[in-house]
Amino acid sequence: MRKATISAWALALAVLVSGCATTGAATRDEKRQAILDMQREVLSALYEVHPDARPKISKAPGYAVFSNASVNVILASVSGGEGVVKDNKTGRHTFMKMGELGLGFGLGVKDFRAVFVFHDRETMQRFIASGWEFGAHADAAAKAGDKGGAVGGEVLLDGITVYQLTESGLALQATVKGTKYWKDTALN
């Protein structure tokens, strides 16, 4: 019974998070435009916090920007989001989705943005094709609008520099998470 209760809570949280992470746009073109608008807003915010990121992104083979909402309840963490990979050489956009499931101590809700800067084309293509990330994660965030702060920043992982910006939320977590990124077949 206990395992079924935990599974039911995880499913409910996944539905909640996927609803929080969508753009709310109706048509295919509106959804694509909403993601591209989010991309521009996130890059603008990133350049304010990390001005050195601008030349890294412009010189990179490509980059990705994701919007993600996560919910942590005691021993489970669930999140979902969407984003886009931009190939700087071709200018092509690949629209993607993401999902994350984690185990470990956590409590709270957090809405954050992530920017991935690819150091080589092969890493970018591998990310688009298979996009797995797995690892331990620990952070603290207490932010609402312009009030509060969040621990985060720049991390280098397997040929990718990752920047994380917290939009809003209150969370304390130390979890082991599995994250999957995949092409959004409805938007590509």
CA 5-6-11 angle, to 5 degrees, is 100
Q: How confident is the model at residue 101 (pLDDT cuts 50, 70, 90)?
A: confident
> Under a CB-based contact definition with an 8 Å cutoff, are residues 67 and 42 in contact?
yes
Q: What is the pLDDT of residue 149?
A: 41
Name the phi and psi angles at 42, rounded to 5.
-65, -45
Amino acid in the structure at residue 123: T
Q: pLDDT tens for residues 50-60?
A: 999 999 999 99
Mean pLDDT of the chain: 74
Tokens, residue 81: 């989001």
Would the pTM of this model clear 0.85, i.e. be above it? no
Q: pLDDT tens for residues 160-180?
A: 888 888 764 344 444 455 678
> Under a CB-based contact definition with an 8 Å cutoff, are residues 132 and 118 in contact?
no
For the chain, the structural domain boundaries read 2-183
Taking 70 as the threshold, does the pLDDT of residue 89 lie above it? yes
Rounded Cα–Cα distance for residues 91 and 87 (Å): 5
> Under a CB-based contact definition with an 8 Å cutoff, are residues 84 and 95 in contact?
yes
